[in-house]
A and B are shown apart, each in its own frame.
Chain A
Amino acid sequence: MSIKIENLSVSYGNHDVLKDVSFSALEGDCVAVLGPNGVGKSTLFRCILGFLKAQSGEVFFGDKKMECLSRAETARHVAYIPQFAEPVFNYTVLDTVLMGVTNRLPMLQGPGPEHTKKAMEILEQLGIAHLSHRGTGKISGGERQLALLARALIQDARVLVMDEPTANLDYGNRSRVMERIGELGKQGYTVIFSTHEPNQAFHYANKVIALKNGEILTGGKPKEVLTGKVLSELYGIGVHVGTVSAGENEYLVSLPFEETGKTKERIGQL
């Protein structure tokens, strides 16, 4: 399903958080949203998810205006994967995933065996079926993010919004989670994720939106848009973007400049 954001503006009091933001993503697109802290990424996501009503602008899922959809209908179009956080209550992975079917259930009913079967299939797909009866507080951060991803998938929404899905995860888990996210794009989901790592945008996204001061600084294909100059302007530091060969492939990577020039030296050694 495609998603279109048209002229979205949000302000808190006199402070404009989003100014006339417009972009669209087609089925199968994996969109990375980049920008420094406090630039409006979370506000943009809150608008897309229907948690926050923008002062002006519209969000469309396919040809349906979001404001015409009920909360349960919105949940059938867009699902949310939050940042990693320690769960307060230690629900099992399976129970966590089953929560995703609630919007399709009658008010007084819980999930049945058919939902459990579907949840197990999705967990199998993501490679964590063996954890189904473990508590989410007792598994690694990466596995928990995959459980939340499974919860979003069982929701049957075709647009997935992820707010820094790999923040606070270690290197291995970050890579594991991002690999799965990248695959979702190939399966026809429309994925929008925010990140502070330009390299994730290079490796996993086919579109990028760079936000600065609540406005879109630039948007397009990562290779074309994420130049050292753009990243420097975005984060206020020097950034090198170059190519690294690994095996038979070449990858674009970004490396920040430090004032001391040590990073420059390191790049020279690569």
Chain B
Amino acid sequence: MTTEDNRARDKYKKRFAFIGFAFLLVFFSAFLVGRYSVSLEGLFKSLPYLLPFYGREIAGTESTVVILIRLPRILAAGLIGAALSTAGLSYQGMFRNPMVSPDILGASTGAGFGAALSILLGFGYFGITLTAFAFGLSAVLLACLVSRFSRLNGTLALILGGIMISSLFSAGTSFIKLIADTQDQLPAITYWLMGSLTSIRQTDLPFIAIPIGIGLLPLFFLRWRINLLTVGEDEAKSMGIHTGRLRLVVIICATLVTAASVAVSGMIGWVGLVIPHFSRMIFGYDYRRLIPASILMGAIFLIVVDNIARTVLTSEIPLGILTSFVGAPVFIYLILTGGEDREH
């Protein structure tokens, strides 16, 4: 091992320690942010309720706010941020294009259509989430089917299929908005599409955590091999990789986490595009570092954005609007400065 290797290792260890610390800081301070003020003391008193053997009955308003309202929301924001950034990062590697977002194959627009349809049909919150999830998965499945029967190059056909299916579902959503009741349904659909975590409760957490966990684990464990997809089909095959199988795993996992996120939170753009770029700027290009970095940085980003969403104005600002406000200028900065294309 050369000195330069050790130096590089130390550098990245320090950076991981820093974002790990930043994550803990952001996670716990998020409990203190909001309309109802929670003191540091109140937070410490509430934390034991998270332990399984501690009393089930939550005593006091501060503890109720911390455990029943803020905790599910902060966990959801963290999980969704981690999921969207990792999905974006994985798709970018797989498609060898740093401009790809998690919606490339239509998962978000499919979920958006499903949500709009279920609001039109008068489903409850649970029904909306499930329908959105099912349509998100179906959209990607349709894009894959289009590419399967296409005579074009596989990757190109998949991307074109994704664009076409997205466009179809987007048109479907517009049509639903056109025929929806303008008093209740149209505002509900519009608000849902802008993305928000307002309605998250404890009972929703398994619907987010389980699919996101199932999707993120294989991506995490296969992260070295995902590196090989970025060098191109032929080169990866020549190094003994079953590119078809690996791509399929990446597509299934990234779609699962994207659909689960969008189904619960609505459309939240930019996270899957901006965070991978930032991760590459700080941690280089090796997916062994990039995936854990994206998980942490995506979680930090969305928890911070959600804090802003629920505190800046008297009414909540939809997350999709805020992530665009943050994402677009950051991207312009990256374009102007050459961004990640510097030595690490």
Contact = CB atoms under 8 A, between A and B. Distances in A.
A103 B241 CA distance: 7
Interface in B212-252: 221-225, 227-228, 230-232, 234-235, 237-242
Interface in A121-138: 132-135, 137-138
B231 A116 contact: no
A85 to B, nearest CB: 8
Given A88-B96, A88-B230, A99-B231, A75 B239 contact: yes
Interface residues of A, number: 45
A103 B240 contact: yes
A237 interface: no
A90 B238 contact: no
Interface string A55-99: 000000000000000011111101110100001111110111001
Contacts of A100: 239
Query: DSSP class of B's interface residues: helix, strand, loop or mixed?
Result: loop
A116 B230 contact: no
Given A92-B284, A95-B285, A116-B5, A75 B227 contact: no
Contact of B227 (A95, A117, A138, A155): A95
Contact of A108 (B1, B222, B237, B239): B222
B241 A102 contact: yes
Given A102-B225, A132-B4, A49 B343 contact: no
Given A88-B97, A90-B341, A79 B238 contact: yes
Given A75-B240, A95-B286, 18 more contacts: A51-B234, A71-B242, A72-B240, A73-B240, A79-B238, A79-B239, A80-B234, A82-B234, A88-B97, A96-B231, A99-B231, A108-B221, A108-B222, A110-B223, A110-B288, A111-B224, A116-B1, A120-B2
19 contacts: A51-B237, A71-B240, A71-B241, A71-B242, A72-B240, A76-B240, A80-B235, A89-B96, A89-B230, A90-B341, A95-B284, A99-B227, A102-B228, A103-B239, A105-B224, A107-B225, A110-B223, A132-B4, A135-B344
